Amino acid sequence: MAAPTGSYATGSQVLYRIIALSLLGTVIGVAVSLLAIGFVECVVWLNDRLLVSPRTRIQHEENALLVASATLLVPAAGGLVVGLIFRYLVPEGRPLGPPDTILSVQTRSAPPSRRSGLLSTLAAIVSLGSGASVGQYGPMVYLGTLVGTLSNGLRLNIPNVRAIAIASGVAAAISTAFNAPIAGLVFAHEVILRHYSIQAFAPTTVASAAGYVVANVIFERPPLFLVGFEGVQYGHEFFLFAVVGVLSALLAMVYMKAILACGAVAARSPIPRALRPMIAGLVLGVVALELPDVLGIGTETLRFATIEGAFELDELALILIAKMTVTVLCLGFGFAGGVFSPALLIGILFGALLGSAMDDLTAIAHSGVVPYAICGMVAVTSPVIGAPLATILIVFELTRSYDLTIAAMVAVVLANLISYRMFGRSLFDVQLRGRGFDLSLGRGSAILAERRVTGLMHGDVPRFHPDDEIRTALRRLGDCGRSEGLVIERNGRYVGVIRAQSCLAHRPSDSVGEATDRNALEFDESTTVWQAMEALRGFLGEITPVVSTSDRRLLGAVPESTVIDAYLETVNRLRREENESV
């Protein structure tokens, strides 16, 4: 059995690792935070130049034609640039984001190339800068991933260092984006690492704190979201928050299914891939002429949603539907960006809609629209990103209100439960499942499901022809100490398995063909270690043949013990990673 890597560090190794991991966390935290601030600044700069932000639009209010043509053309032009980048420069042909990060960390595989990552980030800046209705946090998470993977070149000689560095980068990105270091730390564990080892916890925490220090203390970035709230006044409101959670889960599922469906429709459509984002941009521009709220991230609309009376009921419903439609279109048609910020906006509008509707249509006493808006915001977002704890903490760190956090908690927990049962852990996980990686049964099965049995094949197995005599077969099996052999025709086609036990029931002069078990368990070139493990349950033989599906030729044989070894090795490596102290 292969020894798990990185076992049993000595005293000096422990000291080295503590120092190296802390330094790694600090450096990654500072670097990601600076890059994330740069990313946001680039987007803001483009928004200002391209007349996307309300603050510049109003300054050109006199020139209505200029504002209207910018609204129509800027997202389309941005879409064209993004389409061309993915068509000609990025081999993956699609934006990279949290699913790629999760896959790399969960299956211990290398993420897509640095070049693809940088170009994808550039495309996200162009998308967001030109007002596309997509999120900024997904690209920021991937920015953290990019910095994290740089640690691979450092030769630190610490086990699991790539996953830890990526998680640190992601934690710093979220910590900077939301001014929420605790949420950043939890997000990295909940969504990316999916385990809590001390070895990963320490550098992730350091990186998260470093990101917060850079964003808050050095650059004094304003908080994303500030809202005053006096407190929940009635006990029965917690039941209402739960109702908001349930309804939000349904909305979140509609949002996620629509994104997946729109992507599928786009893939089947005859529109060339390079032009798809431009089409989405044009539609967005037309909608934005009437409803400028749908442009970009919509920070202003987010804030208005918590102000009582800022919207009429029908206005809320209209903006909600419009925002969701253009977001689904932008994401499905290939703009680069996340699902997180639009989910926040859709959720807060939905929450405000429920709160205001209750106010208008019923006589239930309640404490204003704010807690419902916030509950809706997090209860729609949490199922989408699959991070209930992190979203609850974001509310806590943004609002510093204990009451709002408890209200949000009630809504989030129900929303997550329902969506988990009816849809999946998160949009990211469902997207990965679409690409063939199922993380729903844990990462062990995902890793084993990626490994094929062809890599475990063994050549040293006795082979016979169907017309060989049984006595020859028994002698040769005895010579090499085996009880099983494989039967192959002269042209290489596989026939079956011959066992010493079944030979005993025949005369020595009979042919091997008569004693061959033609229905024995067999694998093919696509069989994974995970499938092999499942198939070997209750199996009593020694070896399993691997047979080509196309021409039934024998490719090799896999001894049972090798499959079990491979399984144990993976499980041990994961167990060790998830329990590593330093």
Q: Which residues bind other proteins (CB under 8 A)?
A: 48, 53-55, 57-59, 61-62, 222-223, 226-228, 292, 299-300, 303-304, 307, 309-311
Pick 48 or 510: Cβ nearer other proteins: 48
Q: How many CA atoms lie within 13 A of 259 on its CB side?
A: 27
- Identity (one letter) of the amino acid at 494? Y
End-to-end CA distance of the chain: give it in Å, rounded.
24
Element (DSSP H or E) covering residue 473: helix 470-479
**In 557-580, which positions are buried (b, 16+ CB within 10 angstroms) versus exposed (e)?**
bbbbebbeebbeebebbbebbbeb
CB 542 within 8 A of CB 482: yes
Distance CA 441, CA 472 (A): 47
Q: CA 358, 364, 369: angle at the middle one, nearest 5? A: 45
If you write DSSP's letter for every residue of 49-91 in order, what string do you get?
HTT-SHHHHGGGTT-HHHHHHHHHHHHHHHHHHHHHIIIII-T
Pick 85 or 370: Cβ nearer other proteins: 370
Pick 230 or 467: Cβ nearer other proteins: 230
Q: How far is the CB of 21 from other proteins (least distance, A)?
A: 36
Pick 58 or 540: Cβ nearer other proteins: 58
CA dihedral 47, 52, 55, 56 (to 10 degrees): 80
Q: How far is the CB of 199 from other proteins (least distance, A)?
A: 39
Pick 299 or 548: Cβ nearer other proteins: 299
Structure tokens at 40: 């946001």
Pick 227 or 487: Cβ nearer other proteins: 227
The closest of 141, 143, 146, 167 to 21, measured between CA atoms, is: 167
Pick 58 or 217: Cβ nearer other proteins: 58
| Backbone torsions φ then ψ of 557, nearest 5 degrees | -140, 150
Pick 65 or 540: Cβ nearer other proteins: 65
Q: How far is the CB of 62 from other proteins (least distance, A)?
A: 6
Q: How far is the CB of 45 from other proteins (least distance, A)?
A: 9
Q: How far is the CB of 396 from other proteins (least distance, A)?
A: 18
Q: How far is the CB of 401 from other proteins (least distance, A)?
A: 12
Q: How far is the CB of 225 from other proteins (least distance, A)?
A: 8
Q: How far is the CB of 224 from other proteins (least distance, A)?
A: 10
Pick 180 or 477: Cβ nearer other proteins: 180
Query: 139: Cβ–Cβ under 8 A, 6 or more apart, which residues?
Result: 39, 95, 97, 120, 121, 124, 125, 128, 336, 337, 338
Q: How far is the CB of 409 from other proteins (least distance, A)?
A: 23
CB 335 within 8 A of CB 317: no
Pick 220 or 460: Cβ nearer other proteins: 220
The 3-state secondary structure of 323-382, one letter per residue: HHHHHHHHHHCCCCCECHHHHHHHHHHHHHHHHHHHHHHCCCCCCCCHHHHHHHHHHHHH
Q: CA 260, 288, 118: angle at the middle one, nearest 5? A: 55
Q: How far is the CB of 297 from other proteins (least distance, A)?
A: 12
Q: How far is the CB of 408 from other proteins (least distance, A)?
A: 18
Query: 407: Cβ–Cβ under 8 A, 6 or more apart, which residues?
Result: 232, 237, 238, 241, 371, 374, 375
Pick 48 or 359: Cβ nearer other proteins: 48
- Identity (one letter) of the amino acid at 532? A
